[in-house]
Structure 1
Amino acid sequence: MARSDRILLLLQTLRQYRRPVRGEQLAEDLSVSLRTLYRDIATLRAQGADIRGEPGMGYQLKSGFLLPTMMFSEEELEALILGTRWVAARGDGDLAQAARAAVARISAVLPAPLRDQIEENQLLIGPAEQVDGLAGDLKRLREAVRREQTLQFSYLDLSGQKSARRVWPFALGYFDQVRVLVAWCETRNDFRHFRADRISDLLETGERYPRRKAALLSEWRARQQAGASNAAADSS
């Protein structure tokens, strides 16, 4: 196990104990020697962790300590890099630029060994297929979701029928070939999914819709789960 991973695991283990825990028990939990445990506790203390106790007395972590952002495990760092590379390759211009900037900012505060892992990371994202007609409106859709604002637009459905819609957008799904706006549709009085490339005449009303997006998302997810459960029951 990498040392950074071990430090994180020690921190998480200490948080599980509400009373002082002996070094021998911690060493057993982490499958390390007592000498390694003492060294890792010293490292955490040097980074500001308020760990009370001494050998033979037990150790206890006082609440409120957070590791600095530079302390990522190897798996966390790989997940972070893979995710940001996907966004950089498939997000709209502003989102792709933000992903690249985020990696650069994180890399700047990492210690040299972890920074080298970013530069040498071998998890790659395949070429993105061109998705036409999205770049201009995706940023506006994201902002409307973030601000919980009502949108109006024309929508062309799969049968070629065009209709005017007024919606409460609360999520935006990113797929390889399409982007899908998830919203409560005032026109249909129900949840609806809208392909971004079929939206036209987009108008930002500047009006905040009457419900919170978290509540809408929760209700939508419950509907999706119920639908999946019913489909599974029908097929059994």
Structure 2
Amino acid sequence: MRRADRLFHIIQLIRGRRLTTAAYLSMRLEVSERTIYRDMADLLAQGVPIEGEAGVGYRLGAGFDLPPMMFTHEEAKALVASVRLAQAWLDPALATGAQDALGKIMSVLPVDARVAAEALAVYAPGGGLPPPAQRTLQTLREAVQERRKIFINYKDLTDKPSERTVRPLGCFYWGKVWTLAGWCELRNDFRSFRVDRVTYVRRLDEQFRDEPGRTLADLARLDREWASQQGWVN
């Protein structure tokens, strides 16, 4: 990789992450950390507002931007493949947003990169989430973002129905199955609900705040502890 290309790539990597370490840049660009430090010094000397320091990490300061559409052929193909595969398993709003975003990107790509991306023989025919599950997923995702409690009718794996009020914490995709992780007020504990088994969902007016022991971070910690007890992790 030419040095000029590497400097440009460094900026793209930094602006795509909250904090980027020299070790990460070294790994991605296949150069030494010493080279990364020299490149950072050169970028700063050229007026690029990079914040941070060696050993901590770097981020791009406000007010600096570069044209975002300078993709390689492989990067453009990856975007097309990602959108095609994801659309079948996203909710309607995100699927439409992904397609619209891809259209904007494709419209400003160089002709050769656009043609190569559009000719990519990777597809996701059929399958995907049924429309009712797509709509449910969108309602759940929006409730997570708004931190708004939800009321659901739910059928477990034995088809036993129940009514729950839940603090939705996150939506998780497991390969053909989405689940909602949340704090169930009926069980007074964390629970996961398969989206395709939610027969009714309604966002409530009541919003919630993080409380110790009831956050997504708490759930992740409990999962790690359980996995460690099972001997799945060191």
What TM-score do you get using the length of structure 1 for normalisation? Answer: 0.67
Q: Is the 8 A contact 2:164 2:185 kept in 1?
A: yes
- State the distance in 1 between where 2:198 and 2:228 align: 31
Instruction: Kindly provide the CA deviation profile for residues 16-39 of structure 1, in whole angstroms up to 9, marking residues without a partner as x.
Output: 6xxxxxxxx99x959xxxxxx9xx
Alignment of 1:119 onto 2:118:
yes
Q: Is the 8 A contact 2:84 2:124 kept in 1?
A: no
Shift in Å, 1:7:
4.8
Shift in Å, 1:193:
0.7
Shift in Å, 1:228:
1.5
Give the aligned partner of residue 202 of structure 2: 203
Which 5+ residue runs of structure 2 have no aligned equivalent?
15-20, 23-30, 51-60
Identity within the alignment, %: 31
Instruction: Kindly provide the CA deviation profile for residues 135-158 of structure 1, in whole angstroms up to 9, marking residues without a partner as x.
Output: 332221121111111001121111
- State the distance in 2 between where 1:100 and 1:159 align: 37
**Higher Rg of the two aligned structures:** 1
Q: Is the 8 A contact 1:82 1:125 kept in 2?
A: yes
Amino acid of the structure 2 residue aligned with 1:127: P
Name the SS for the 1:168 alignment partner. Answer: strand
- State the distance in 1 between where 2:4 and 2:81 align: 19
Alignment of 1:227 onto 2:226:
yes
What RMSD, in angstroms, separates the aligned Cα atoms of the two structures? 3.7
- State the distance in 2 between where 1:118 and 1:4 align: 25
Give the aligned partner of residue 156 of structure 2: 157
Question: How many equivalent pairs are there?
Answer: 198
The 1:156/1:110 distance shift into structure 2, 3 A limit, reads same
Which 5+ residue runs of structure 1 have no aligned equivalent?
17-24, 31-36, 38-48, 53-59
Name the SS for the 1:226 alignment partner. Answer: helix
Amino acid of the structure 2 residue aligned with 1:183: G
- State the distance in 1 between where 2:95 and 2:2 align: 31
Shift in Å, 1:168:
0.7
Shift in Å, 1:129:
2.0
Amino acid of the structure 2 residue aligned with 1:205: L
Instruction: Kindly provide the CA deviation profile for residues 33-86 of structure 1, in whole angstroms up to 9, marking residues without a partner as x.
Output: xxxx9xxxxxxxxxxx7753xxxxxxx855344433123455544443332222
